């Protein structure tokens, strides 16, 4: 949150009063979020940048590297995802990686400059046998001096506790979109299922990484609904990935109208204002953005990226390209 008595703090207080909010982290009414989205673009990113500066060094960006530890063949039907077994895509199903393969990738990520290593699996939820192997992975990755993150689908409280005991720092589980639009995108798991997993992760004292995707064909109200869900959590997520849909051949969302990049930046800015203490991650979709749009995202308050030549199954700007971008913007990686 903005420092008491600073200009950004005063401006936020003014906004809060005008919209009858009692405390900015207490309750973000949808109407207040809607007002933010309706601001002229320059006013919005000026406001989000000022708030960003109050909590973070605006020239530092955190780097997380992803590894798909189990790819494809997923039983879920998420309409954006090339790993669902319901769609015919070019993704090749691969069984879970060995511990050695994961350690080799994690070492490479650390050498390239990542501070966090995130292991993703195309599961509805992990089976105990699989979880046992993931726990070993977490222990080994942590021993390299990296922060650890996993995204394995739904988790029970017991599973979350087991991961916590192995040293897991973050668990990624996204709400993806608003409760109202969710059913248009996913039918095999409910919004409530997702909220329960997030509660289990929070109760186990693992940092929560939770965000969504834009560009799914959702309305502005759906983007407002997603932000409202995230910002009004009892404790907002420590890390908020904002993904821009990467359209993949064979998935139901292939070919839909692409989102205007300025609307993507607006979403980053509103996430920054409503979750002033969270890391906001400029996530999937960077390959479709030029350097100017990415620079604008950092100005608007994004302060984390996925770093490495691949996300899970789709591409990402390569490490050299990102290093050059950071050099041109004088951004320090953390
Ligand atoms: N299977 C696990 C799950 O869904 O909980 C973890 C991995 S899943 C790929 C993690 C997140 O990646 C999804 O919730 C979604 O937000 C994002 N994602 C997946 N496919 C995407 C795509 N084509 N474009 C943008 N984001 C995507
Ligand atoms: C998140 O929010 N985005 C990442 C991570 N969490 C796991 C995944 C993006 C996936 C993009 C599509 C793919 O590469 O398969
Ligand atoms: Fe499976 Fe996750 Fe893809 Fe959904 S997003 S189909 S749960 S891998």
Strands 239-244 vs 212-214: parallel, antiparallel or unpaired: parallel
Q: Look up 74 and say whether it is catalytic.
A: yes
Model pTM score = 0.94
Tell me which residue has tokens 């319901």: 86
The model's pLDDT over 203-253, given as tens digits with 9 standing for 90+, comes to: 999 999 999 999 999 999 999 999 999 999 999 999 999 999 999 999 999
Name the pLDDT band for 27 (thresholds 50, 70, 90): confident
Options 189, 194, 202, 209, the catalytic residue? 209
Measured between its terminal Cα atoms, the distance across the chain in Å is 20
Name the pLDDT band for 292 (thresholds 50, 70, 90): very high
Sequence length of the chain is 334
Residue 216 structure tokens: 């799914």
**311 alpha carbon, closest ligand:** 2
Q: Look up 149 and say whether it is catalytic.
A: yes
Residue 82 structure tokens: 């090339």
pLDDT of residue 25: 53
Kindly state if the Cβ of 151 falls inside 6 Å of ligand 1: yes
Q: Look up 118 and say whether it is catalytic.
A: yes
CA distance 265 to 242: 10
Name the pLDDT band for 2 (thresholds 50, 70, 90): very low
Please state the atom number of ligand 2 nearest to the C-alpha of residue 80: 12
- 59 neighbors 103 (Cβ within 8 angstroms): no
For residue 20, pLDDT over 90 is answered with no
CA distance 93 to 73: 6
Q: Which of 79, 121, 122 to mutate to test the pocket of ligand 3 (most atoms within 8 A of CB)?
A: 122
User: How many whole angstroms from 169 Cα to the centroid of ligand 3?
Assistant: 22
Ligand 3, atom 4: nearest CA belongs to which residue? 78
């Amino acid at each position: 949150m903005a420092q008491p008595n600073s200009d950004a703090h005063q401006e936020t207080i003014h906004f809060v009063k005008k919209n009858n909010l009692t405390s900015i982290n207490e309750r973000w009414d949808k109407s207040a979020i809607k007002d933010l989205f309706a601001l002229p673009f320059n006013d919005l990113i000026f406001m989000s940048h000022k708030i960003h500066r109050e909590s973070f060094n605006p020239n530092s960006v955190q780097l997380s590297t992803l590894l798909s530890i189990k790819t494809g063949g997923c039983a879920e039907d998420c309409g954006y995802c090339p790993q669902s077994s319901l769609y015919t895509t070019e993704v090749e199903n691969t069984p879970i990686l060995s511990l050695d393969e994961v350690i080799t990738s994690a070492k490479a990520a650390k050498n390239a400059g990542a501070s966090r290593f995130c292991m993703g699996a195309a599961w509805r939820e992990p089976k105990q046998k699989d979880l046992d192997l993931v726990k070993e992975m977490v222990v080994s990755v942590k021993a390299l001096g990296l922060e650890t993150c996993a995204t394995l689908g739904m988790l029970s409280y017991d599973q979350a506790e087991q991961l916590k005991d192995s040293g897991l720092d973050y668990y990624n589980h996204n709400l993806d979109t608003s409760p109202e639009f969710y059913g248009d995108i996913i039918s095999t798991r409910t919004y409530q299922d997702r909220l329960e997993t997030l509660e289990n992760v929070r109760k186990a004292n693992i940092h929560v990484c939770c965000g969504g995707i834009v560009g799914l064909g959702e309305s502005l109200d759906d983007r407002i609904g997603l932000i409202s869900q995230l910002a009004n959590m009892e404790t907002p997520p420590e890390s908020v990935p904002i993904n821009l849909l990467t359209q993949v051949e064979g998935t139901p969302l292939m070919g839909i109208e692409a989102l205007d990049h300025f609307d993507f930046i607006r979403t980053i800015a509103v996430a920054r204002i409503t979750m002033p203490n969270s890391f906001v991650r400029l996530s999937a979709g960077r390959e479709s953005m030029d350097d100017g749009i990415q620079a604008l995202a950092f100005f608007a308050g994004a302060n984390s990226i996925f770093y490495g030549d691949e996300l899970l199954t789709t591409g990402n700007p390569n490490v050299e390209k990102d290093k050059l971008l950071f050099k041109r913007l004088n951004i320090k990686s953390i």
